[in-house]
Amino acid sequence: MSIAASVAIRPSPCLRALRAGLLASVLAVGAWSGQPLLAAALLAGLRRDVNCSHLDISGVGEIRLTVYRKQCRACLLDGCTVWPGVLLLHMALDDGRRLWLVLLPDSIAGGEWRRLQAAIRAQLQKI
């Protein structure tokens, strides 16, 4: 059984605050240890998340992402995690790229969070 969901995704304020705290702590440890170049290298290694603006899961299980105004098909890979407060989605896009999509409840508008979780769980049962 498949559950359809179509949700608009906005950047999570909570995730931004967590990322800012991580960056501040890396810089503080680098400055404290006297190795600011190492801290800068660690900061350069942290990549930004994909700016996904829309996620569609059809009733037959097809997943489409809208990333930077470009729509692409995706499929879920092993390693996805569905918790009540967070979705960690490991996805393969149709052009061969792989990405991690981190979703928190504050990044989904309204009451769509539970529907999205149910749709993702239904897709993961097929893997």
pLDDT at 99: 85
pLDDT tens digits, 29-44? 777 777 776 666 666 6
Type of residue numbered 2: S
pLDDT at 67: 73
pLDDT at 28: 79
Chunked in runs of 10, what are the mean pLDDT values of the chain (127 residues)? Answer: 79 81 78 72 61 80 82 89 90 88 86 88 84
| All residues at 6 or more sequence positions from 7 whose CB lies less than 8 Å from its CB, including other chains | 54, 55, 108, 109, 112, 115, 116
pLDDT at 10: 83
pLDDT at 110: 75
| All residues at 6 or more sequence positions from 44 whose CB lies less than 8 Å from its CB, including other chains | none
Residue with tokens 């190492």: 38
Spatial contact of 126 and 78, defined as CB atoms under 8 Å apart = no
Spatial contact of 82 and 117, defined as CB atoms under 8 Å apart = yes
